[in-house]
Structure 1
Amino acid sequence: MTLSLFALTSDPAKRIVKFNLSNDVQADLTTYLKDQESSFDLQQDEIVFDGKYKPDAGEVLCIENYDDIDNLESAIRNPTSLDLVDPSEDFFHYIKALFSGYILETGGVKVLLQNFDRRKIISTNGLSIFHSANVYKKIEGIGLTIDHKLTATLEEGKLKFFSFHNTRQIFDLSEYYKEATDDDVIEFSNMDLIKSADNSQLLEMSDSWVRRKISLIQQSGILQNVPINEMKAVATEFSIPFITITENGDELIKIPDNKSDLKKLLRFLDEDYYKSPLSKTNFITNSKRVLGN
């Protein structure tokens, strides 16, 4: 069995495309991905995903009856029916994930997925070189790096993954996580980096959108993993309301007292803002609307 390599993109005209691999690269890829699959499958304890629980070592999150809306299974079954990847840097920026897979003995399909971002692109801008036979040679065309581990697997309707944040870059998981409850909202307001002057007012402002964002932020772990000075610097660049106060020598994020600024802050913390690598223009990711217009 040899595995093919596909890309899932954000281009609606070419949602799934196939890489044209040489025989030796395809053989190496097969061994590489099968080893990753074995490592991934060592995590045996399956935890049903609800948007809140973070898996420990030896645990994996799973969603039963996941809707394969992009029809990845069809790509595995009929690889020759797909268009080939456009070998251009512009197109590579549309790639959301790399995937491969194979047909099971049961007749079903197992899909192996890795999320993809522009850091994995070997660009034709500048001079890219690689070491071979004791010398460095020039890379003539655009290339990519295939990661050393899987992000997720999809097998007969069951999606399994470790990192919600990474898997969310590939799939829309919004219908599978639960909104934050009142207790969750209060727990959020009591986090070490958060300062809410009035929890009852925060609950009043917490509509369904706010509760979903709070659930996502708690799941992502961004408040535990990103220093507050870095968050503040990025917020300033994007003109996001990001007020901090100092309490007992610690700098804390102040929860806004109006819903508009609260939603801007939560959208920022959920990482819906980014800078386009091509135009250096600031966008909101769900609409690609230029900020300030």
Structure 2
Amino acid sequence: MSDHTFIDSKSAIRRRIYYDLLQRAIPDSRYGYDFTAFYPDFRDSSFALNRITGLSCYQSADTIFITPDNSLEALRHQALKDGKKALVPTYAMRRGFFVLDPRRISDQDFRFASLLDGMERPGIGRSVEVAQLKEEIGKIDLCVTGAGAVDARGRRLGNGRGFFDLAWAILSDRGIVGPGTPVAAVVHECQIVDEEQHPEEWDVRCDFVATQDKLISIESVEQPEGGVLWDKLKPEQWQTISVLQELKGIQMMEKIMNGTGSLHELPKPTPNLSSADELMGIQMMEQIMRDYKI
């Protein structure tokens, strides 16, 4: 089967699920029913979330990675109430990662902290740089994500932007997730597809899939371990996701410290970055590298 056939098949699945979700999904205040922009919450999603919180890996977890999907808002809230630290990427990873620590957030603010607009407010979540992740987090005990569709073997079909896979690659590079880190997806029953998906080498698979009707457990899941595949990045990812620039700088610093790299290999700022803040971040990393005593 050709690559074009795979693409056509994925498009057909997305179209079918779009019409199925129209009858079941809760619209987003900013994006309405544009499911290419977000993974929606859906009626009776609380049953799916209860299946996640019933997992032994959830109950024993100290820190959970939870994507910023609408369907997981209540899970972020519940995790805080259960005393668990949550690492949440910002929407489209434009502003990196935020840590929600229930020990540093007042109980009455837990609900507000579970909202994407709330977690970035002062005194709620804390922005954490890639260089701080290992010290701040240590390791992730469970990852939970939304999805466009999932097959019976835990292979996800997203919206083509790959933010969860990219976040996994960054965390994997820093040793914060690994082959033994369980991954769970929360989807509506209509998002479970019979068509077998054909993952790319960077695609993260699910150990568990929770719907409003059932929990699917998948055996012998193998996850990508290579970190960020730099040559596979889309130009807009490199240009707009500042944590990638930071990670590349850190990797170069480590090479220099090991005697295997030089300042000439440091990534250069691109003129098409989406914000002055992102450009400033890269320039700061360059300055750190120049000041570093070799």
Same-fold call, TM > 0.5? no
Point out the structure with the larger helix share.
2
Judging by fraction of residues, say which structure has more strand. Answer: 1
TM-score of the superposed pair, with normalisation by structure 2: 0.28
TM-score (ref. length: structure 1): 0.28
